[in-house]
Every structure is written in C-alpha cells, then in structure tokens.
Structure 1
C-alpha cells in the first residue's frame, strides 16, 4: 500500500492557525478538509489529529478509491488521480506547514537542544530519514536518529513508525524507552525511543555521556 500522506508530510509540522485559514473545519477536536477534484469525480478528505489520515472518495460510487494505494496499478487514469491528490497535499504542506528534521516532535526538540548545547545540526549521508550528529573537530558520530518500525526494537511485529536515537554508552539500562542498540554494537551503544516515554532532560544527559565518550582525546 502506498502511504502518500507520509511521503508528503514526513518532515512537516502543522501550523494550526494556518489550517483554519486554509478552510479546515474542526470536528471532534480533529481538523478536516475536503476538496472535490478531477471535475468533481473524486473527493479528497484530509483529517489531522494526533495522526494525519487521508483518503480519496470516488464520488460516483461514494466509496474509497483504493487503486490509488496500490503501487502496481499504474494505468493512465489512476496515475492522474494519484498526482492530482498529491498536488492537493503538497499545496496544504506548502501553505500550512514548516519544515522539520524528523517525524516525531521529541526528535525535533532534542535536535534543537543538541544545536543549542553543541552547535551541531544533523546531516543525512544516506539521503533518507536517518540523521547523524557529529563532533565538529573530529567528525565522529555521537548520535544517530533513525525512523524505524517499532518491531525493530520490540520484535512484536508492530509496523508503527517511531524515531529512535542511538547513543554510545558504557551502561545498560532497564528503563522503558531504552533498548539494546538497533543496527549497532549492543555492548557500547543503546537505542532510545523518541516518543516522549523518556524525558527530554534524561535524553540530554545520555547525549552528553555519548558526546564525551566519542570526543577527541587530548594528548597528555
């Protein structure tokens, strides 16, 4: 299934005042926008609450137009509907959103605190959603933020996505939100879930430890 909304809004933060100006209505604490397109043959419905949901309705059948989501369906009509829907989403993103580095709010808060403390912003060497924080003097990593399925940490089959942060550590922690490192050495790295399970202050304490463990050693 194609998650078109994630593609457009992955690194966007909504300005809710701008959503109102864009004619989003508020229903049951949800922001909802509808727009007919393709000569009113289709209707886009975008719903924003804790998560963003979108769907396209075939106005003739009054049912969701599922071919939009199937990547192997690439007929001319389907592609036109898909691109027209994307253009609506991009217009919303351009007018109602600001750019952020990562998908989860806590990941962006921690990113800002790292910049304020160390003057370091993430770089994205793999041109994806994985951001590396490096020392300014030796270019060594002291942190890595990734966007992964919960299954990567919990091994429970969950497909829900979350930003995680890998940090170097001499200790192991039996704390909710801290796990053996994903994709790195379990003996010297840990993974933190950036979903507000852990406080920002605790995360920054662990960032500081990782920063000191990876910093350039001074000659005696």
Structure 2
C-alpha cells in the first residue's frame, strides 16, 4: 500500500452495501471500481479482504502511471493526477468505508451497549482529528460523550502511549469526588467543570461505565 493510500484508508474498513451503492462490482471475491481521473488516465480500485490496490492506468499504453506517488515529483500534470487521485480515494473512503478506530477493547463494548440501549452511533466529525468521535442524543443533537485516543501525557499520565478515553458529562460534585478517588481523570478537550474522562481497559467495570454514560446522556437535556 502506498503512503498516500495508507494515510487515507488508515483505521477504516470497507462496507459491502456502501461499496455496491457507490458503483463497485464484486467478482471472484473482490470488489472492483474504475474512475477516470484525467483524460486518458483512469483509477482502478480493487478491494479483497484487507488488501486495497489503486493503480492509475495510462489508457493509451495500458501501463501503470506512478509518478504521482512520489511527492518529490512536481509539475503541472503530475500535480493534476495526484490531486485527482487523492480526491477520488478520499471520496471512496468517506462513502464506502467505516472507521475502526475503536474496534477493540472496552470502547467497543461501550459502543455496542450504547447502540443497543439508545440506538446512537459514533460520529467522526473532524478530518484533521480522526482519533476523535462523539456520541449525541438524536432528539436534541446535544453531545453526551467524546471518544478519543490520546497520548497518556495529555491527561497527566506517564508516558506517551495512546490510551482510550471516554469523556462524559457529570455533576460538579461527582467530578470532584471521582478525581479525588482516582477513578476518573480531568476532562480532555471539554470543560473540566462539567466533564470528566475515564481511561478504558484499566479496570473499570462496563456496568459502572454505562451508568456514567446514562447520567451524561441525561445531563445533555
């Protein structure tokens, strides 16, 4: 996978229904899609399992065009092909793939429980911050959870390893008590007087987390 391609499809997985709706066809267990990028050059996308190939083909010669993959290559035509290539892949990633940023561990359990109990799904709102998602009520569109992967030192922990944080609304008294007890961390990104953070996969029970989610959702009235 090229670096350009890898950066676009990182932490995303294909959705069969969305691929079909977008115009992909399935043959021999693989999904195929062709799109003209610039006159005489087409993008050929093949998705089979975890493997994605995205060659650009010169229609006249039938050979792959690769100059756009090296960012050191400049020039008007190369830039035109590269821009069209990136735009096409970003469109496919947005329309045909779903994020897998929180596809494991306790975050997955929380999201599954939220979907089952409330029908709410995570929303990835920021292209520049793909590690961040929100949960919100559908009746008033207010957020009640922020889901992030951040460096441990961003929330006062030792080291720079990524940790999963579930950031929830809470009453000020609850925030003070849980911070004092060490069962929660200061809110990441949100107002620290009205939100707090829970580090996941760190010993907290799912039932306790879901009780905190229920309270946060209630506060988002």
Residue 87 (structure 1) aligns with: 87
Paired position in structure 2 for 1:109:
104
In the other structure, the counterpart of 2:15 is 15
Q: Over aligned residue pairs, what C-alpha RMSD do you find?
A: 3.2
- Give, in angstroms, the shift of residue 84 of structure 1: 0.3
Alpha-carbon separation, structure 2, partners of 1:90 and 1:80:
15
**In structure 2, what is the Cα distance between the partners aligned to 1:121 and 1:211?**
18
**What are the Cα deviations for residues 179-215 of structure 1, in whole angstroms up to 9, with x where unaligned?**
xxxxxxxxxxxxxxxxxxxxxxxxx9xx4xx537xxx
Matched residues in 2 for 1:34 and 1:134: separation? 40
Q: Which residue of 2 aligns with 1:74?
A: 74
Corresponding residue for 1:43? 42
Q: Quick one: distance in 2 between partners of 1:25 and 1:35?
A: 13
Q: Distance in 2 between matches of 1:23 and 1:34?
A: 9
**Residue deviations 1:81-123 (CA, integer Å, cap 9, x gap):** 0110111112212222233316xxxxx1323126679x99443
Contact 1:122 1:133 in 2 (8 A): yes
Q: Partner of 1:53 in structure 2?
A: 53
Contact 2:36 2:42 in 1 (8 A): yes
Secondary structure at 2:71 match in 1: coil
Number of aligned residues? 136
For the 8 Å contact 2:30–2:48, the answer to whether it is kept is yes
Matches of 1:75 and 1:19 in 2, distance apart?
Answer: 33
Rounded to whole Å, the distance in 1 between the matches of 2:149 and 2:108 is 14
Structure (1 or 2) with the greater helix fraction: 2
Asked if residue 133 in structure 1 is aligned to residue 132 in structure 2, the reply is no
Structure 2 equivalent of residue 100 of structure 1: 100
TM-score calculated relative to the size of structure 2: 0.51
2:149 matches 1:123 = yes
Cα gap change, 1:73/1:113 in structure 2, threshold over 3 Å: closer, same or farther? same
C-alpha distance in structure 2 between counterparts of 1:53 and 1:17, whole Å: 20
Q: What's 1:65 paired with?
A: 65
Find the counterpart in structure 2 of residue 3 from structure 1. Answer: 3
1:123 aligned counterpart, secondary structure:
strand
Q: Structure 1: which 5+ runs fail to align? A: 103-107, 141-203, 213-220
Residues 150 and 165 of structure 2 are in contact (CA less than 8 Å); yes or no, is this contact kept in structure 1? no
- Distance across 2 between alignment mates of 1:135 and 1:2: 33
CA distance in 2, matches of 1:14, 1:3: 19
